[in-house]
Amino acid sequence: MIDVGGFLRRFSFRLAAWSAASLAGGSALILWGGPLARSAGIQTAAWGAAETGLALAWLMGRRCGTPTERALRLALWIQAGLGLVCLAAALALILLPGRDGAAWRGHVWGLAAPGLFLFFFHLIHAQSVPPPAPVVQARPFDSDEHRSFLLAGGRPAALLVHDLPGTPAEMLPLGRSLQKAGWTARGVSLPGFGTDLASLASRGAQDWQRCIDSTLCELRRRHSPLLLIGFSLGGALAVVAASGAALDGLVLLAPVWRMVPGLARAAGALLRPFLPRYFYPLRRADFRDAGTQEFLRALAPSLDPEDPATALELRRLGVPVRLLTEAFASGIRSYRSAVRVRCPTLILQGSYDELARPDDTRRLSCRFHQPARYLELPAGHWLLAEREPSWAEVERTVLEFAGALRGASLQSP
């Protein structure tokens, strides 16, 4: 669970550790340094003493109650601003005429170096303040359609992997179609999604991949042929799983593997320490909009977004940016893993899909050991929505591919 109090405790101890090091280093410079070092040491020790008092104030203040997420973030931004003020003061001292001497330069360095460190220290922590735990006791995605499903059929089996974020509900229509065709359809709920949404902050790509791998092993013991189907980011996870599993076929539906260009990823990696750790998808949502209300009813039927308290909770719902990083990494991993996939592969792609772009999907299709069958449909991203005109073609093509796998399995000795 996200814990503002735990974050504050960790921050206070880190600040106390820096303060102790600053006091010790400043004292050493005062005792054994030259004029420049002694003046820098005075400033450094003064910084250490001030920050020690601040760290103690944070720790003692927790006894009176944990501050709100907003108050804590504001206090950290103010302290980051004070670091900038010290940097500005050091610059002003440099620019003032008629100042010379080692002692004076020492005061400048004594202001600038700790000020720069504390600016970044408080900036990074201000961006890392976790959102508060929700007060509204709603159980998201609590209906049965959002749970893992097993539609019993014949000996052939298909494992269906949903999107991120998403639930097995989006794979149910295709699962039912496969069951009618004689297949056992297994829809897996990836850790941290669906009814397990409360644990999302502590989940990652390893958990998702492990879930798929273990389910494939379970199905392989009882079923043959075995087909793996992945949608969107679930398709990226499916490629990685297929690269190391004994499969008879792989189906990718609008696979998302490249979400941002390479230069943007490199810039993001450099700037990541200074960027927010959480994003708030509903912060500016219009809860009177019919589409938003439909989504929230699917999320948790008991939620009333028009209730002011509930609306406030929803707007403060924070999702770790780390999960986006995990998803990006899974996409790149899938592209690299495609060359190790040995089973027949079918790829369906919407021609005006803005999330899984056709150019990127065609590029992925060329990576497979066996030439993948690539089919582009006049559709957007949501190929599995039964209300979409492309659904009938998606259903027919997947069932034909599955039927061919089943026929090849029956003919093999």
Residue 339 has pLDDT above 60, yes or no: yes
Residue 264 has pLDDT above 50, yes or no: no
Task: Report pLDDT for 136.
Answer: 47
pLDDT tier for residue 61 given thresholds of 50, 70 and 90: low
Task: List the domain range (segments joined by +) for residue 332.
Answer: 144-259+321-411
Instruction: Of 17-21, 65-69, 154-158, 180-184, give the lowest mean pLDDT range.
Output: 65-69
Instruction: Of 112-121, 184-193, 311-320, give the lowest mean pLDDT range.
Output: 311-320
Task: Report pLDDT for 153.
Answer: 87
Is 358 in contact with 385 (CB distance < 8 Å)?
no
Is 159 in contact with 220 (CB distance < 8 Å)?
no
More reliable by pLDDT, 359 or 43: 359
- pTM (2 decimals)? 0.69
Shared domain check, 253 and 113: no
| CA distances for 190 relative to 50, 84, 161, 182, 200, angstroms | 48, 44, 8, 25, 10
Tokens 């749970």, residue located: 147
d(CA 334, CA 237) in angstroms, rounded, equals 7
Shared domain check, 114 and 149: no
| CA distances for 285 relative to 115, 275, 370, 396, angstroms | 38, 22, 45, 37
Is 281 in contact with 314 (CB distance < 8 Å)?
no
| pLDDT tens for each residue of 130-186 | 776 554 445 556 667 788 999 998 899 999 999 887 889 889 999 999 999 999 999
Task: Look at residues 128, 157, 186 and tell me which one is the last residue of a structural domain.
Answer: 128
Shared domain check, 154 and 115: no
295: Cβ contacts below 8 Å, ≥ 6 apart: none
Longest pairwise C-alpha distance within the chain: 95
Q: Is residue 316 part of a domain?
A: no
The residue-averaged pLDDT of 195-210 equals 80
Highest mean pLDDT (candidates 135-149, 210-224, 278-292): 210-224
d(CA 266, CA 263) in angstroms, rounded, equals 5
Shared domain check, 254 and 360: yes
Shared domain check, 329 and 242: yes
Please give the radius of gyration of the chain, using alpha carbons only, rounded to the nearest integer.
Answer: 28
Residue 3 has pLDDT above 70, yes or no: no
Shared domain check, 170 and 113: no
Task: Report pLDDT for 263.
Answer: 47
Task: Report pLDDT for 48.
Answer: 75
Residue 106 has pLDDT above 70, yes or no: no
Shared domain check, 155 and 121: no
Shared domain check, 121 and 57: yes
pLDDT tier for residue 80 given thresholds of 50, 70 and 90: confident
Q: Is residue 137 part of a domain?
A: no
Q: Is residue 282 part of a domain?
A: no
**3-state SS track over the chain:** CCCHHHHHHHHHHHHHHHHHHHHHHHHHHHHHCCHHHHHHHHHHHHHHHHHHHHHHHHHHHHHHCCCCHHHHHHHHHHHHHHHHHHHHHHHHHHHCCCCCCHHHHHHHHHHHHHHHHHHHHHHHHHHHCCCCCCCCCCCCCCCHHHCCEEECCCCCEEEEECCCCCCHHHHHHHHHHHHHCCCEEEEECCCCCHHHHHHHHHCCHHHHHHHHHHHHHHHHCCCCCEEEEEECHHHHHHHHHHCCCCCCEEEEECCCCCCCCHHHHHHHHHHHHHCCCEECCCCCCCCCCHHHHHHHHHHCCCCCCCCHHHHHHHHCCCEEHHHHHHHHHHHHHHHHHHHHCCCCEEEEEECCCCCCCHHHHHHHHCCCCCCCEEEEECCCCCCCCCCCCCHHHHHHHHHHHHHHHHHHHHHCC
Is 372 in contact with 365 (CB distance < 8 Å)?
yes
Domain count, the chain: 2
User: In this structure, is the dihedral angle defined by the CA atoms of residues 129, 73, 55 and 19, taken in order, positive or negative?
Assistant: positive
The residue-averaged pLDDT of 202-223 equals 91
Shared domain check, 187 and 120: no
